[in-house]
């Protein structure tokens, strides 16, 4: 086990919002300007942040900028599933000090090569990205923009952090020209540069709302929001009966209310069987979360795999054994994988010699960003 000193997280929620405001008002800023043709012009002085309501010029038109904090995040690694996880970089800043705080994302290794990807609810043509750093700034080697249409990431030239104070905001200013509307930002770090965790508390995206662009280009509106789906079909290596306890009992929304040997959940043929349950979904998504509703003897799940919609090999989710879920209870897995394919199936593998009885599954929910069809 790794050990390092940890600071105590302050829990004065009532003042945290005010502190965040103070931080945002006081943090020194470093800045890089990216030109339309991917050229860089340096800014010797720090430009003031635009107000969200301040008009921005876009060609011959005038549009309104909006400011957003990330609504979702994932990373190539995270220090734990709760504190320091990727989700700690969502929402507005909540880390007051330069220090090793659990309210900011940290990778698993202090000297890791990692990336943090953050997502935003509203697609925008970006004008500015603000990366709030609260421990060891200096490891960011590049920043990429993720277009709303899932096309290739756009790497910003010379987007390495030139040196930001701690705590501090690394600001990238972007021109509007020739940049697609985006819904995500990927931050790449090489922490051998800092020889310590470069922790990120929050990421703000400023830009022109995408619906403004839609009017201009008349392209269809893709669903940018996360889609929640229940399984539409299921199969298993064995089942206790049919229709009771069959694989089909894991289809649809949960319908089993108690922790018991209920026939409205899937059960394998043998109580100590080594089995797998595979569930399928109507729409392929880039997965962010899987929720497995268990209603009898949780604890037998040894791994969970993702099934790509293109039929290619199943992708195991690292560390996806059930660490112990209450009964009834939901084993919830955040999908930490980057650059993953769209999936339309989930395979749950169980070793019921661990529970010595049926580990029954009532329903499986898949959450993700819809893939284009
Ligand atoms: Ca945070
Ligand atoms: Ca069910």
Ligand with minimal distance to 255 CA: 2
At 339 the pLDDT is 67
Q: Does some domain include residue 4?
A: no
User: Does 209 share its domain with 235?
Assistant: no
Question: What pLDDT is attached to residue 131?
Answer: 97
CA of 361 to the centre of ligand 2 (A): 7
Neighbours of ion ligand 1 (CB under 5 A): 88, 94, 103, 201
Q: How many Å lie between the centroid of ligand 2 and the Cα of residue 241?
A: 14
Please check whether residues 167 and 86 belong to one and the same domain.
yes
- Distance, CA of 344 to CA of 245 (rounded, Å): 23
Instruction: Kindly report the CATH number assigned to the domain that includes residue 259.
Output: 2.60.120.260
What is the rounded distance in angstroms from the CA atom of residue 277 to the CA atom of residue 324?
A: 18
Q: How many CB atoms lie within 10 A of CB 62?
A: 10
Residue 87 Cα to ligand 1 middle (Å): 8
Q: How far is the CA of 295 from the centre of ligand 2 (A)?
A: 9
What is the whole-number distance in angstroms between the Cα of residue 23 and the centre of ligand 2?
Answer: 48
Phi/psi of residue 341, nearest 5 degrees: -75, 160
Of the ligands numbered here, which is closest to the C-alpha atom of 248?
A: 2
* Closest ligand, as measured to the CA of 83: 1
The answer to the question of residue 255 being in a domain is: yes
Say if residues 56 and 127 touch (Cβ distance below 8 Å).
Answer: yes
Domain-terminating residue out of 189, 217, 245: 217
Residues 80 and 182 in one domain: yes
Q: How far is the CA of 203 from the centre of ligand 1 (A)?
A: 9
Q: Are residues 182 and 38 in the same domain?
A: yes
Name the domain boundary from 217, 246, 262: 217
- Evaluate whether residue 21 is within a structural domain: yes
- Judge if 211 and 234 occupy the same domain: no
Between the CA of 336 and the centroid of ligand 2 the distance, in Å, is: 27
Q: Are residues 237 and 257 in the same domain?
A: yes
CA of 353 to the centre of ligand 2 (A): 23
Q: Quote the pLDDT of residue 210.
A: 67
Low-confidence ranges of the chain (pLDDT < 70): 1-63, 176-178, 210-224, 337-339, 372-373
Instruction: Answer whether residue 5 is part of any domain.
Output: no
Domain that holds residue 318: 227-370
pLDDT computed for residue 43 by the predictor: 31
Please tell me the predicted confidence (pLDDT) of residue 340. Answer: 78
- Identify the CA nearest to 161 among candidates 184, 130, 185, 182: 130
CA of 94 to the centre of ligand 1 (A): 5
Does a structural domain hold residue 31?
yes
Kindly state whether residues 337 and 363 are assigned to the same domain: yes
| Same domain as 97, residue 43 | yes
Ligand with an atom nearest the CA of residue 230: 2
Report d(CA 282, CA 245) in Å as an integer: 22
247: CA distance to ligand 2 center in Å? 9
* Residue 51 and residue 206 in contact, taking contact as beta carbons nearer than 8 Å: no
From the CA of 164, how far away is ligand 1's center (Å)?
18
Among 195, 217, 239, the domain boundary falls at 217
**Cβ–Cβ under 8 Å, residues 281 and 364:** no
Residue 3 domain flag: no
Q: Do 240 and 358 contact (CB within 8 A), yes or no?
A: yes
User: What's the pTM value of the predicted model, to 2 decimals?
Assistant: 0.47
Helix ranges (DSSP H) in the chain: 13-26, 210-217
- pLDDT score at 57: 41
User: 362: CA distance to ligand 2 center in Å?
Assistant: 4
Residues 135, 315: Cα–Cα separation, whole Å: 33
Residue 302 Cα to ligand 1 midpoint, Å, equals 31
| Residue linked to tokens 């009834």 | 328
pLDDT for residue 11: 36
Domain count, the chain: 2
275 and 164 co-located in one domain: no
Same domain assignment for residues 339 and 245: yes
Q: Is residue 2 part of a domain?
A: no
Structure tokens at 327: 């009964």
360, part of any domain: yes
Do 207 and 233 reside in the same domain of the chain?
no
- pLDDT tens figures, 109-152: 999 999 999 999 888 889 899 999 999 999 999 999 999 888 88
Residues 80, 46 share a domain: yes
pLDDT at 337: 64
Residues 190-214: tens digit of each pLDDT = 999 999 999 999 999 998 886 543 3
């Amino acid at each position: 086990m790794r050990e390092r000193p940890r600071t105590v997280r302050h829990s004065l929620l009532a003042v945290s919002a005010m502190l965040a405001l103070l931080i945002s008002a006081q943090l020194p800023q470093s800045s890089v300007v990216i030109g339309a043709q991917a050229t860089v012009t340096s800014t010797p002085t720090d430009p003031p942040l635009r107000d969200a309501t301040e008009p921005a010029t876009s060609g011959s038109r005038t549009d309104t900028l909006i400011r957003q904090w990330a609504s979702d995040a994932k990373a190539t690694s995270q220090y734990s599933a709760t504190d320091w996880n990727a989700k700690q970089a969502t929402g507005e800043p909540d880390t007051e000090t330069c220090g090793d705080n659990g309210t900011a994302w940290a990778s698993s290794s202090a000297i890791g090569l990692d990336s943090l990807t953050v997502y935003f609810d509203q697609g925008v043509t970006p004008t500015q990205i603000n990366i709030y750093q609260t421990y060891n700034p200096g490891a960011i080697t590049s920043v990429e923009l993720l277009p709303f249409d899932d096309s290739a990431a756009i790497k910003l030239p010379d987007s390495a952090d030139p040196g930001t104070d701690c705590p501090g905001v690394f600001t990238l200013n972007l021109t509007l020209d020739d940049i697609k509307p985006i819904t995500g930002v990927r931050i790449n770090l090489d922490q051998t540069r800092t020889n310590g965790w470069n922790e990120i508390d929050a990421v703000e995206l400023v830009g022109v709302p995408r619906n403004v662009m839609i009017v201009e280009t008349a392209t269809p509106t893709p669903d940018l929001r996360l889609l929640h789906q229940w399984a539409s079909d299921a199969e298993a290596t064995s089942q206790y009966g049919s229709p009771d306890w069959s694989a089909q009992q894991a289809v649809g929304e949960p319908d089993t209310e108690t922790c018991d040997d209920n026939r409205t959940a899937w059960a394998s043929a043998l109580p100590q069987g080594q089995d797998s349950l595979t569930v399928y979904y109507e729409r392929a998504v880039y997965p962010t979360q899987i929720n497995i509703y268990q209603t009898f003897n949780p604890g037998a799940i040894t791994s969970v795999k993702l099934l790509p919609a293109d039929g290619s090999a199943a992708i195991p989710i690292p560390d996806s054994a059930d660490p112990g879920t209450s009964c009834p209870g939901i084993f919830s897995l955040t999908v930490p994988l980057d650059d993953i394919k769209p999936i339309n199936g989930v395979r749950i593998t169980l070793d019921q010699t661990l529970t010595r009885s049926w580990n029954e599954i009532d329903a499986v929910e898949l959450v993700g960003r819809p893939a284009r069809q």
